[in-house]
Every structure is written in C-alpha cells, then in structure tokens.
Chain A
Amino acid sequence: ETGVTQTPRHLVMGMTNKKSLKCEQHLGHNAMYWYKQSAKKPLELMFVYSLEERVENNSVPSRFSPECPNSSHLFLHLHTLQPEDSALYLCASSQRQGLGYTFGSGTRLTVV
C-alpha cells in the first residue's frame, strides 16, 4: 500500500458506457495527477491538479473528464471511449506540484 489508492483495479467497459475511476490519498499532498500508460509508449501526463484547481490538460480528448472535489480525491470520468483508450491509468500525488510523486497501483481499463 503506497498511500495512494485507486479503484477499481480492473475495468472492462463498452464504448457506449459511462464509468468513473477513483483515486484517493491521505498523505496530505496538495497536487494530484492522472497518467496513461500504454504498451510501448512513455507514460503520458493527462491532467494535473494543484490545490484542487486544474493546472494542466495535455490535449486530452473530452471523453475523459477529471474532477477533483477536494485535495484527497481525484476522479476520471469516462464516456464513449474507444478501444485505443485501453491502458493502465495511474494516479499520483505530491506534496506540491513537481515534488516527490507517490503513485497508486493503477486501474487496468479495457474498452470493448
């Protein structure tokens, strides 16, 4: 257990479904991140939240919608995904933006 908890660990969804990924940390960190890990590609930073405000959105398609209701929780809402969106989605947090990342174990997403 790293201090960053992601649920669910595995998710299979159809292209017309709506689902949400959840990330939770109780480390007192102020920044949270979503990364996408696809086979044979570098980790892709998707979103950055600092003090609950979104500070970065790396040209991520609108079918991915993040939400950060407080400094301990981060969600990634998914709708009308494509098969190429299948990947491991990793959440991370840090004391402040850029320092000491702690990663969760990820959610393995399969879009069918």
Chain B
Amino acid sequence: GDSVTQMEGPVTLSEEAFLTINCTYTATGYPSLFWYVQYPGEGLQLLLKATKADDKGSNKGFEATYRKETTSFHLEKGSVQVSDSAVYFCALLTQGGSEKLVFGKGTKLTVNP
C-alpha cells in the first residue's frame, strides 16, 4: 500500500541554521504531497503542498519540491527560528476510490536560541 517514510528525529538546530527534513514516498500513480506541522499542544496545520511533479510548495520560508524521479518531497528552510520548533509530518493523498491522507511518523524539530 501507499506509505511515507521521513527521517527519524529528533532534530536539534541553532537559530538561523539550515533545515532539511527528508521525506520519500511509495504510491501508485502520482499522489498529492503535503507537509503538516504540529505545534506543542495543538492539532496538525497544513504547512505546504504540491499536487504534481516538479511543483514547489512554499509557506513561511519553508519549501518542498515534488520529485517524481526520486519519489521525494524534502522539506527545507534556509534560516530556522525558535518559533519553528514543532513536529513536522510528511503526507500523501492516496488516489482512486477512497482517497485519504497517509502520514509519516513525524520529525520533531527543536531550535535553540
């Protein structure tokens, strides 16, 4: 079945460091891809998405590019802030029939001042 694999955390960075969180997927067809963020004590919020190959999703300084050839959707940010500390989830939307979101395990990011 469709699945998402993202890098194990936790990830700890200093403020203004470069961030990469790797995400690869296995799916039939060409699913839409998403990054969600979960701040402490809250539910998931959509961070960005891409619906077809070579699309780049971006929001709040975060970017991710849909790479069909490597089945990847890595999340990047050039300069992280303390307020970016959260858990980040990569997800895909399955296709055909009963569409649903399938999530990775999540990567916890801590940014220190």
Contact = CB atoms under 8 A, between A and B. Distances in A.
A40 B99 contact: no
A43 B88 CA distance: 12
Contacts of A90: 43-44
Contacts of B45: 2, 103
Given A41-B105, A42-B103, A43-B103, A105 B42 contact: yes
Contacts of A66: none
A15 interface: no
Given A48-B98, A56-B98, A103 B103 contact: no
A91 B73 CA distance: 25
Nearest to B87: A37
B43 A101 contact: no
A13 interface: no
B104 A97 contact: no
A45 B43 contact: no
Nearest to B93: A98
Interface string A85-112: 0000010100001101101111000000
Nearest to A88: B43
B41 interface: yes
Contact of A2 (B41, B43, B99): B43
Contact of A48 (B36, B41, B100, B103): B100
Select the residue from B36, B89, B99 with max chain A CB neighbours within 10 A.
B99
B103 A98 contact: no
B44 A103 contact: yes
Contacts of B98: 48, 55-56, 97
10 contacts: A6-B43, A33-B100, A42-B106, A45-B102, A48-B98, A56-B98, A97-B100, A98-B94, A105-B41, A105-B43
Interface of A: 2, 4, 6, 33, 40-43, 45, 48, 55-56, 90, 92, 97-98, 100-101, 103-106
Given A56-B100, A98-B93, A105-B41, 9 more contacts: A6-B43, A43-B89, A45-B101, A90-B44, A92-B43, A92-B44, A98-B99, A104-B43, A106-B43
